[in-house]
Amino acid sequence: MIEQFAAVEIISAKRDRHELTDPQIDWVISAYTRGVVADEQMSALLMAILLNGMNSREISRWTNAMINSGERMNWSAIDRPTTDKHSTGGVGDKITLPLAPLVSACGGAVPQLSGRGLGHTGGTLDKLESIPGWQAELTNEKMLKVLQDCGAVICAAGKGLAPADKKLYALRDVTATVEAIPLIASSIMSKKIAEGTSALILDVKTGSGAFMSDPAKAGELARTMVALGIDAGVKTRALVTAMDVPLGLTAGNALEVRESVEVLAGGGPSDVVELTILLAREMIDAAGIKGKDPEVALKDGSAMDVWKRMIRAQGGNPEAKLPVAREQQHFLATTSGTMTTMDAMKVGVSAWRLGAGRSRQGESVQAGAGIELHAKPGDEITVGQLLMTLHTDEPARFERAIQALEGCVEIVKGGSVNRLPLVVERIQG
Ligand code: URA
């Protein structure tokens, strides 16, 4: 096959701050996926993009080229509108677990194709895999059947969905080119558009525990992604939400499942409940569904019924006892006063070091590992009070996990709480 371009021309164009043309973008993504463009050439192009940016036409074309590298899911057999949520990830962010069955109970169909966690933020599939018997890998036929029968499916995205992104993401991870808004936006939106949902709500996290700690940058990422979704015909909205403090009272796989089940039972921490209901209302409104209100569906048990059906449909036992780590250690307050801050990133890193997360793709995670929080900013604390319980199967991990918590909480006599509002910005295209 005679190639249309040489990679070096495209790299030098972006290095010299020129716009890439549509044919150049289509070719470079296709040629990289086919193995014609080498990793070292794509690394140079990614760095040029990180340094010199892309305009909205280039980002949109780049996203489309990634979508076209693989299959598009088709949910036309489903008799309800499809609506989905994507979070950029944060510490204790278990919202997908109660949200998918909740939106189904309100009349939507939620095809939630998720990933595994890398680094300090946990992955939805890792959390659900702590439920005995639950299977993340489904064939496309089985996905459709679970979605048809339960109104929600949470499973691993198949290999055929945006394969260009899989290669590019692995390369960005090792070439310090993850943090470019055009590359993040196209990576997330290529998968979500290929997933074939008719409506999409983006939960873009900001604060210390988020990928984009600066709220202005998180807003820019959110606007870029909303524009890409709208362009592709997906009813897309975004909420920029707080991740300066962990969400809820748990970080870790089985611990977060337990908390999600509490929310589905009508209880649970107020921030998790509030964000779940807010996102559910956005998802059903964007999809034009006039169903039950999410607050009602949490209280009347209908969301819990969907959860149990959905877990059973994927081989899991929703009534089984969740795994508990073999060892626990307490983390106590060393002073009295008001807790003014709790750094989400430090809690995330500590939970990760306890074994809740992985440092390399393919590593296994501990189902029971993680952190339970017994106090949050705003609480009055007395010296010696239990602030956190650390859980792991391997006690040798405690020392580094506790090191990660150094400076994590601030306790000040008469201090006032300084934290982001739950919703920092809302963007509707
Ligand atoms: N998540 C993704 O899927 N892609 C990115 O680039 C960043 C976060």
Tens digits of residue pLDDT in 97-107: 999 999 999 99
**Choice from 184, 186, 212 to test ligand 1 binding pocket (greatest atom count within 8 A of CB):** 184
Catalytic position from the list 191, 346, 353, 358:
191
Fold of 7-53: 1.20.970
- Mean of pLDDT values over 31-40: 97
- pLDDT level of residue 298 (50, 70, 90 thresholds): very high
Measuring from atom 2 of ligand 1, which residue has the nearest CA? 188
CATH number of 327-412: 3.90.1170.30
CATH of domain 83-320: 3.40.1030.10
Domain ranges of the chain: 7-53, 83-320, 327-412
242 touches 420 (CB < 8 A)? yes
- Split at pLDDT 50, 70, 90, the class of 118 is low
Query: Is the CB of 180 inside a 6 Å radius of any atom of ligand 1?
Result: no
Question: Ligand 1: does its nearest atom lie under 6 Å from the Cβ of 367?
Answer: no
Q: Which residue has the tokens 């992985």?
A: 358
Average pLDDT, rounded, for the chain: 96
* DSSP codes of every residue in 126-169: HHHTTSTT------HHHHHHHHHHHSEEEEEPPTTS-HHHHHHH
Ligand 1 centre to CA of 183 (Å) is 8
Residue 144 has pLDDT above 80, yes or no: yes
Read off the pLDDT of residues 321-375 as tens digits, 9 standing for 90 and up. 999 999 999 999 999 999 999 999 999 999 999 999 987 777 889 999 999 999 9
Pocket flag, ligand 1, residue 188 (CB < 6 Å): yes
Question: Taking the CA of residue 247 as centre, how many other CA atoms within 13 Å lie in the half-sphere pointing to its CB?
Answer: 32
| Residue written as token pair 């059903």 | 284
- Looking at this protein, which amino acid is placed at residue 360? R
The catalytic position among 172, 192, 353, 358 is 172
Instruction: Tell me whether residue 68 is exposed, middle or buried, using C-beta atoms within 10 angstroms of its C-beta: 0 to 12, 13 to 18, 19 or more.
Output: middle
Measured by CA distance, the residue closest to atom 6 of ligand 1 is 184
Active site residue 86: yes
**Binding site membership of 190 for ligand 1 (Cβ less than 6 Å):** no
pLDDT at 75: 96
Q: Is 329 exposed, middle or buried (0-12, 13-18, 19+ CB in 10 A)?
A: middle
3-state helix, strand, coil in the chain (%, to 5): 45, 15, 40
Integer-rounded Cα Rg, in Å, for the chain is 22
Please give the average per-residue pLDDT across 374-382, as a whole number: 98
Pocket test for ligand 1, best of 114, 178, 200, 224 (most atoms within 8 A of CB): 178
**Residue 116 reports pLDDT greater than 90:** no
Q: What is the pLDDT of residues 178-213, one digit of tens each?
A: 889 999 999 999 999 999 999 999 999 999 999 899
| Ligand 1: centre distance to CA 332 (Å) | 36
Reference 46, options 15, 9, 92; nearest CA is 15
Mean pLDDT of 421-427: 97
Confidence of residue 173 (pLDDT cuts 50, 70, 90): confident
Question: Where is 62: in which H helix or E strand?
Answer: helix 56-67
Please say if 172 is a catalytic residue: yes
Does ligand 1 have an atom closer than 6 angstroms to the CB of 187?
yes
